[in-house]
Structure 1
Amino acid sequence: MGSPRSALSCLLLHLLVLCLQAQVRRTARRRGPGGRGPPVGHVGQGREDGPCGRGASTGRSLRNPASRHPGQGAKEQRGSSLRQVTQRHVREQSLVTDQLSRRLIRTYQLYSRTSGKHVQVLANKRINAMAEDGDPFAKLIVETDTFGSRVRVRGAETGLYICMNKKGKLIAKSNGKGKDCVFTEIVLENNYTALQNAKYEGWYMAFTRKGRPRKGSKTRQHQREVHFMKRLPRGHHTTEQSLRFEFLNYPPFTRSLRGSQRTWAPEPR
Structure 2
Amino acid sequence: MAQLFILQIPSSCGILPEGITKHCLMEIRSVSVGVVAIKSVSTGLYLAMSKKGTLFGSSRYNPSCKFKERIEENGYNTYASLRWRHGGRQMFVSLNGRGKPRRGHKARRRHPSTHFLPMMPT
Same fold judged by TM-score > 0.5?
yes
Higher RCO by CA contacts (8 Å cutoff, separation 6 or greater): 2
Shift of residue 142 of structure 1?
A: 1.6
Query: Conserved in 1, the CA contact under 8 Å of 2:6 and 2:20?
Result: no
CA apart distance, 1:135? 2.3
Deviation per CA, 1:188-209, whole angstroms, max 9, x where unpaired?
A: 1111100011002410000112
CA distance in 1, matches of 2:78, 2:71: 7
Query: Are 1:179 and 2:59 counterparts?
Result: no
Question: Unaligned 5+ residue runs, structure 1?
Answer: 1-112, 235-269
The verdict on how the C-alpha distance between 1:127 and 1:114 changes in structure 2, with shifts beyond 3 A counting, is: farther
Give the alignment of 1:1-269 within 5 angstroms.
Answer: 115-122=3-10, 125-130=11-16, 132=18, 134-146=20-32, 148-176=33-61, 178-201=62-85, 202-234=90-122
Larger Rg: 1
Give the TM-score normalised by the residue count of structure 1: 0.42
How far apart are 1:132 and its partner, in Å?
4.4
Identical residues among aligned pairs (%): 24
Which residue identity is paired with 1:214?
Answer: R
Shift, 1:137, TM fit: 0.6
Which has the larger share of strand? 2
Runs of 4+ with >4 A deviation:
131-134
- Conserved? CA contact 2:81–2:91, under 8 Å: yes
Residue 217 of structure 1 aligns to a residue in which SS? helix
Cα pair 2:27 2:39 within 8 Å, conserved: yes
Q: Is the 8 A contact 1:120 1:131 kept in 2?
A: no
Paired residues in the alignment total 118
Structure 2, unaligned runs of 5 or more: none
TM-superposed CA distance for 1:233, in Å, is: 2.2
